[in-house]
Amino acid sequence: MVGGNQTPMVTEFLFSGFPQLAEGSLLFTPLLVIYVFIVMGNLTVVFAVRMDARLHNPMYHFIGVFSFLEIWYTTATIPKILSNLISRRRAISMPGCLLQMYFFHSLGNSEGILLTTMAIDRYVAICNPLRYPTIMTPRLCAQLCAGSCIFGFLVLLPEIAWISTLPFCGPNQIHQLFCDFEPVLHLACTDTSMVLIEDVIHAVAIICSILIITTSYIRIISVVLRMPSAEGRRKAFSTCAAHLGVFLMFYGSVSLMYLRFSATFPPILDAAIALMFAVLAPFFNPIIYSLRNNDMKLAIKKLLCSSKMCPVPAS
């Protein structure tokens, strides 16, 4: 395709692959195993929440929705990364790149909003336990989940629409494992100062969520520490530990990627950080939720095992 000034316009992008790794195919099997585990692990959490009546409450409903989003969040990037590992030509079309960016970040935004909602839910449950059933009703819970997803997908539409209008006339090499805003914007044949504006927008959204979640947990911890019963403190911390662990992994890796502004990392470190928040954080989420919660462990065991082969102890 040729523009009005006879400058060839880019119709596809090429990925640089894994830096300092001659045989990217060596990573194919481990990454495929991780991806299958992510899908199966999160599906198990989703079905455990749906099938076990003991988990029919707002906290587990949020966990089930979060796990469902994780499946699609990883599907937006990992299959293409796997394809690139065994392909000689690591290419993606312009529309494909825009769609990958849109779904990856929309699903990530939805997860971030949902994690913030979960922190507020734990705040209400622990700091206002008597009012919790009347505040966090099933209807409000469903509305919060739907609102997180709808807002997460709508907020990026103007940004993706704007990027789709930018001229790309070369080079077309993306120095990342998947299409992301900054690597793509740096390839545009226009003023790249807009990259800083993108960084600020992302940073404000991330920092606001971190502040809300951190404030909620500071208040939760202060209330829990004043509980007279050691058993009550243990149960309260237990219900929050899994969510806090997922929050630290999710926002820790995202902050490394998007709160660095003009700082530049070596390509190998960039790839490692991208793998951390796109692959490793989703990999550990079902493990954290299943290991840190007895009710979830029992529900998963009940789902996976028959009563004769794997007897489930009474709760």
- The answer to whether the CB of 177 falls within 8 A of the CB of 274 is yes
How far apart, in whole angstroms, are the C-alpha atoms of residue 253 and residue 195? 20
How far apart, in whole angstroms, are the C-alpha atoms of residue 228 and residue 237? 14
pLDDT at 245: 82
Neighbours of 44 (CB within 10 A): 18
**pTM higher than 0.95 for the full model?**
no
- The answer to whether the CB of 94 falls within 8 A of the CB of 10 is yes
Q: Which domains does the chain have, with CATH numbers?
A: 12-304 (1.20.1070.10)
* Residue 55 DSSP label: G
pLDDT at 134: 92
Contact partners, residue 106, CB within 8 Å, separation at least 6: 152, 153, 155, 156
pLDDT at 302: 81
How far apart, in whole angstroms, are the C-alpha atoms of residue 123 and residue 284? 24
Per-residue pLDDT of the chain (315 residues; tens, 9 = 90+): 444 455 567 788 988 766 555 556 678 889 999 999 999 999 999 998 888 888 888 888 999 999 999 999 999 999 999 988 888 788 899 999 999 999 999 999 999 999 999 999 989 988 888 899 999 999 999 999 999 999 999 988 888 988 888 888 878 888 888 998 888 888 888 776 666 677 777 788 888 888 999 998 898 888 888 888 777 777 777 777 778 888 888 888 888 777 776 667 777 777 788 888 888 888 988 888 776 677 788 888 887 775 445 555 554
